[in-house]
Structure 1
Amino acid sequence: MAWQQLSLDTRYPDFAEEILESQGALSVSVLPAEGAESIFEPGPGETPQWSRARLTALFEEAADLDAVRLAVSELLPDAAEADPEQDEVADTDWVRNCLDAMAPMRFGERLWIAPHHREVDDPTAVVVKLDPGLAFGTGTHPTTDLCLRWLDGAEIEGARVLDYGCGSGILAVAALALGAREAVGVDNDPQAVRATAENARNNGVDERLRYGLSTEHDVGAGYDVVLANILAEPLIRLAPTLLATLRPGGWIVLAGLLDRQAERVMEAYPGIDWQQASCDGWTRLAGCSKSTAE
């Protein structure tokens, strides 16, 4: 199977990445554009920013890149200068190549995400072994990072957890590894469901994790924690659905939105006391039902 690749230059990499992912990009890499200058000197663990960035997005062979180009031209502020370039990429195990170079990553005090061939030398560590397959979620993106750090610091022991838009299943599996009683993961992408199933088996939590397509799986209600790491517009549309799954006094954690989108998303979820955290221009919202919140 071949893949399609679309590359473009922009002064607005966060906008461009959001557009490409909303159009079905399987992965998006961000590097400095040719001749770009660094805007500031990054601190430890920070992502560099450049005057112009080069984004490269990978799509399935059947993807309609004309539609992607149209979305870019309509939504990207500097679309006239983006000059998208399209290529075909020969089939390769690009995810495995990425994982081979991936080191274990720590999120908070206890939680680590590691590829299967890497060990964590920490007897107190809670380690999730991850193979994302073709689904989103390795922990490297700020949105996933923010959610994993929230889970590490939350009182998750014995909780019922819903991971809506589960991607690789990283959040559901991490919640179970941290002591959640049971979890449900749903996604609209069959690749994500398969990746979630495999990662659950590899981490020995498959008996406590139910999963399926969001269009076919009735997730029910009464969850102690509801996680949704997707995009701002879907989060707004899904507000009634996600609120209905949350028990009184439960926590809802939303990510995948830019800082500028946080206010609109919060307004779509009445009755929640929000806490906001940010990383590299991305926001995580975590809120508890006002019915029992202190």
Structure 2
Amino acid sequence: MPWLQIRIPTLPEHTDTLEDALLLAGCQAVTLVDTEDKPVFEPIRGTTPLWQHTTIQGLFDHELDAEELKATLGEFMAAEGIEPQGPMVTEILEDKDWERAWMDNFKPIQCGPRLWICPSWIEPPDSQAINLRLDPGLAFGTGTHPTTFLCLEWLDRETVSGDSVLDYGCGSGILGLAALLLGANRMDGLDIDPQALDATRANARNNGIDEDCFRVMLDDRDLEPQYDVVVANILAGPLCDLAESICLRTRPGGKLALSGILAHQAEAVRKAYTPWIEFDPQAEQDGWVRLNGVRTR
């Protein structure tokens, strides 16, 4: 069925109050979006930041009187001392097959000469390529984000045949599973989220990967002492904190790739790893950086 959507520009400190007001008025769903389309890339740990100019939007039954709704919310804001940050806007959203629209927007991605990431419902463009069938799910990692793409591109370029691989912060398992399809001998995936482990197992099954070739775990104490190849696509802060641990899991002469790093954070991450790693020139895409190199010490 169609929906009546209302959009209210506001400030972060008023979002909780306005959300309560929308729900009391019969709102079925509330969403917070950035009014100025300025992304928050890496929040301070333990916080859920909002944008300086936030728009709160709610969905109501389409038969509700839009003008009456705006008047009611306007009176509420005045009573609460909430200054309008822009006009309230209403519109009718027509019913749509949102799942089909989402599926139509997820296309195969070529990550290098050999490797493609393909959704399960689409025939791979190149049947002779290495095709990792991956459906977006609960865990991060589909190849569409620059950080994931940069790591996949690196794996496709490197020789990982016969290697042991550690996917540190495995998410959907996309990097470790891609390494297995590219010829790695075995892979261990580590993540703090149990859903990530379930997603990795499911994606391995969907790609016909033998369960004897990989393990997934929550505790780093279950890892092997060292690996030939380590990939860590997390965030700059954790990468810096975990530098020694990640490096020591990389065997001397082994390869390391780090991503989840914004361009202005690259030097800090590089500095944290230089006691062990000799880096190649960094790769960058859309403001995100991949650092890769070899453990020399």
Same-fold call, TM cutoff 0.5: yes
Secondary structure of the 2:225 match is coil
Of 158, 161, 175, the match for 1:157: 161
Matched, 1:6 2:39: no
Deviations 1:151-173 (A, max 9, x none): 00000100100001101100011
Equivalent in 269, 278, 285 of residue 273 of structure 1: 278
Q: Are residues 1:284 and 2:290 paired? A: yes
Measured against aligned partners, the alpha-carbon deviations of 1:219-258 in whole angstroms (never above 9, x if no partner) come to 1222011111010001011112111111000011100010
User: Counterpart of 1:9 in structure 2: which amino acid?
Assistant: T
**Distance in structure 1 (CA, Å) of the matches to 2:59 and 2:167:** 33
Distance 2:242 2:264 in 1: 19
Cα offsets for 1:87-116 (capped at 9, x unmatched): 589xxx978863453121111101000011
Whole-Å separation in 1 of the counterparts to 2:188 and 2:30: 32
Does the aligned pair in 1 maintain the 2:138–2:195 contact within 8 Å? yes
The answer (yes or no) to whether the contact 1:131–1:195 under 8 Å persists in 2 is no
Structure 2 CA distance for partners of 1:11 and 1:202, relative to 1, 3 Å? closer
Measured in 1, the distance between the counterparts of 2:160 and 2:98 equals: 34
* 2:151 is the alignment partner of 1:147: yes
Name the SS of the counterpart of 2:153 in structure 1. Answer: helix
Matched, 1:210 2:232: no
Write the letter of the residue equivalent to 1:120. Answer: P
Using the alignment, how far apart are the partners of 1:103 and 1:10 within structure 2? 28
Deviates more, 1:229-238 or 1:96-105: 96-105
Q: How does 1:167-182 map to 2 (within 5 A)?
A: 167-182=171-186
Instruction: Give matches, 1:1-294, under 5 Å.
Output: 5-10=31-36, 12-13=38-39, 16-19=40-43, 67-68=47-48, 71-72=49-50, 79-80=51-52, 82-85=53-56, 98-205=102-209, 206-213=211-218, 215=219, 218-269=222-273, 270-275=275-280, 276-291=282-297
Structure with larger Rg: 2
8 Å contact 1:251–1:286 — kept in the other structure?
yes
Unaligned runs of 5+ in 1: 24-66, 73-78
Conserved in 1, the CA contact under 8 Å of 2:247 and 2:276?
A: no
Q: For 2:197, what is the secondary structure of its paired residue?
A: helix
Q: Is the 8 A contact 2:114 2:130 kept in 1?
A: yes
- What CA distance in whole angstroms lies between the structure 2 residues aligned with 1:142 and 1:120? 21
Q: Which whole-Å CA distance do the structure 2 matches of 1:211 and 1:95 have between them?
A: 29
Aligned AA (1:105): I
Structure 2: stretches of 5+ with no match in the other structure: 1-27, 61-96
Which residue of structure 2 aligns with residue 59 of structure 1?
none
Q: Tell me the equivalent position of 2:74.
A: none
Identity between Structure 1 and Structure 2 (%): 48
Range with bigger deviation, 124-133 or 159-168: 124-133
Whether the aligned pair in 2 keeps the contact of 1:105 and 1:114 (CA below 8 Å) is yes
C-alpha contact (below 8 Å) 2:236/2:260 kept by paired residues: yes
Distance, in Å, in 2 between the alignment partners of 1:237 and 1:123 is: 42
**1:201 Cα deviation from its structure 2 partner:** 1.1
**Contact 2:240–2:272 under 8 Å retained in 1:** yes
Partner of 2:143: helix, strand, or coil?
A: coil
Helix, strand or coil for the counterpart of 1:148?
helix
Q: Is contact 2:232–2:259 with CA below 8 Å preserved after alignment?
A: yes
State the TM-score, normalizing by the size of structure 2: 0.71
Aligned twin of 2:10: none
Q: Distance in 2 between matches of 1:95 and 1:183?
A: 32
